Amino acid sequence: MKKLIYFCLLGLLMTGPVFSQQKHLSNETPQQKTERMQWWTDARFGMFIHWGLYSEAARHEWVKNHERLTNQQYQKYFDNFDPDHFNPKKWAKEAKAAGMKYAVLTTKHHEGFCLFDSKYTDYKATNTPAHRDLVREFVNAFRAEGIKVGFYYSLIDWHHPDFTIDGYHPQRIDNGDSAAYAKINKGRDMDKYRKYLFNQVRELLTNYGKIDILWLDFSYPGKFGKGHKDWHAKDLLKMIRQLQPGIIVDNRLDLNDYSDGYDFETPEQVNANTLVKYRGKTWETCQTFSGSWGYYRDETSWKTNHQLLDLLISSVTNGGNLILNVGPTARGEFDYRAVSHLDSIAYWMHANDRAIYGCTFAPDSYQVPEGTKLSYNPKTKRLYVFLYKIPEDGKLRLPGYNGKISYAQLLNDDSELQYKTQGEDLMLDMPKVRPPYDIPVVELMLK
């Protein structure tokens, strides 16, 4: 008996540290985190908006870096920034129609230009021909449509005089060594930049009411890179949570060693087929319509409507979110290609959104019927079958489903789908006339 107690104690001692090994910054429990993030995990679908001076160049939001432009060379975009068609109410209506429940706007991208009226810089929209705080108008318009509001803020700043030149900077040195970088960075003071960074984040989280999401971008630790030490990331995150206790923060602060150093992972531009590996984690895949985040006039490699729909479905059926990006033009409008894609998503979402909101991957006990993907709503106990292919013989085999469901219907019109048993399986009658949706959905009520 004594021996047993001894081993139990030893076991406890050994597992104890394993539990606490993962470092943490706060005392929030997993349950509390789940509750804080509930609206976001239920929402599943958001809109990213990349808009800034680079929209004028219209050849990638990294144009300043790609073409190694100096502040002076870039100045023409500041002088000519005049978004005469900017109407965020219209943006918000389009996002809402497409079924997007939250939106994240670039308040400042790597170029350093601020869409908001910051008191810590002159490099802001109010000093351009736009003469307005564009962030405030965005916030008001999206909130009015009931869409949650998020801010993207670039940790990187290629305009600020104290942000040290590194391997990603437009003024980087080819094959530069430490001495060369030390020389070129003389007079630049990261302490001062950090103050600026903290001040601006404080402004954003103080002056615009409740902010639901903060999307900080990004860290690239390494010899000529920047990471959590450069941002004083722990202190920054502490301040963020103090100012906005409910806020949801992405994982690009380089605090991955802390269980609560971030709220969600951000697989960027990944293939829909790879999303399965994120099951069980909290994540949001960010995706563009084409190859660039900022407006890119001559970019032609746009995803098809089908690919976009598949990305949304693949996110939900693997338990994650999709944030789909629009890069408005310099006049402040969604480009016609973006509008047409959003319209097509809106058409599909209107009829099929029940298979998206509040859904996740199906329990393992439900086999995925051939040519389909499966989502599941744990609250309503309904299963959704996305019909990528409608079987030619008009019957969909639900393998092993006999005895598991009480009713089946087509989701877009709640019309009954009759079925017969065949051993362990159910054979579901498909509609004779193909429903007018690229990927129709079957709704199964589980017993």
* Residue number with CB closer to ligand GLC (56 or 443): 56
* Residue number with CB closer to ligand GLC (168 or 437): 168
Hey, what are 206's tokens? 């103080």
Q: Examine residue 217 and tell whether it contacts ligand GLC (CB under 6 A).
A: yes
- Interaction residues for ligand GLC, span 136-165 (CB under 6 A): none
* Residue number with CB closer to ligand GLC (50 or 226): 50
Instruction: Compute CA 234 distance to the chain's CA centroid, rounded to the nearest angstrom.
Output: 22
For ligand GLC, what does the binding mask look like between residues 108 and 137, x meaning CB under 6 A? ------------------------------
CA atoms of 39 and 212, how far apart (whole Å): 10
Q: By the 8 A CB rule, do 75 and 112 touch?
A: no
Q: Examine residue 67 and tell whether it contacts ligand GLC (CB under 6 A).
A: no
* Residue number with CB closer to ligand GLC (104 or 374): 104
- Strands (DSSP E) contained in 271-411 are 284-288, 321-326, 360-361, 372-377, 382-387, 395-398, 405-410
Among 153, 158, 218, 289, binds ligand GLC (CB under 6 A): 218
Cβ of residue 302: shortest distance to ligand GLC, in angstroms?
17
For ligand GLC, what does the binding mask look like between residues 17 and 56, x meaning CB under 6 A? ---------------------------------x------
Hey, what are 441's tokens? 């959905």
Helices (H) and strands (E) in the chain, counts: 14, 16
* CA distances, 234 to each of 26, 110, 189 (Å): 11, 21, 20
Phi, psi (5° rounding) for residue 30? -55, -40
Cβ of residue 59: shortest distance to ligand GLC, in angstroms?
13
Kindly state the greatest CA–CA separation across the chain.
82
By rule CB under 6 A, what count of residues binds ligand GLC?
8
For ligand GLC, what does the binding mask look like between residues 353 and 382, x meaning CB under 6 A? ------------------------------
* Residue number with CB closer to ligand GLC (217 or 254): 217
DSSP calls for 268-305: BS--GGGGGGGTTS-BEEEEESSS-SS-BTT---PPPH
CA atoms of 159 and 121, how far apart (whole Å): 11
Phi, psi (5° rounding) for residue 224? -110, 40
CA atoms of 75 and 70, how far apart (whole Å): 9
Cβ of residue 309: shortest distance to ligand GLC, in angstroms?
21
Peptide bond into 151 cis (omega under 30): no
Cβ of residue 250: shortest distance to ligand GLC, in angstroms?
9
Residue 34 has a CB neighbour count (10 Å cut-off) of 11
Cβ of residue 51: shortest distance to ligand GLC, in angstroms?
11
Instruction: Tell me the CA end-to-end span of the chain in Å, nearest whole number.
Output: 48
* Residue number with CB closer to ligand GLC (217 or 263): 217
Cβ of residue 126: shortest distance to ligand GLC, in angstroms?
23
CA atoms of 397 and 116, how far apart (whole Å): 55
* Residue number with CB closer to ligand GLC (216 or 237): 216
Hey, what are 339's tokens? 């509008």
Q: Examine residue 61 and tell whether it contacts ligand GLC (CB under 6 A).
A: yes
* Residue number with CB closer to ligand GLC (121 or 325): 325
Cβ of residue 217: shortest distance to ligand GLC, in angstroms?
5
Interface residue list for ligand GLC (CB under 6 A) = 50, 61-62, 217-218, 268, 286, 293
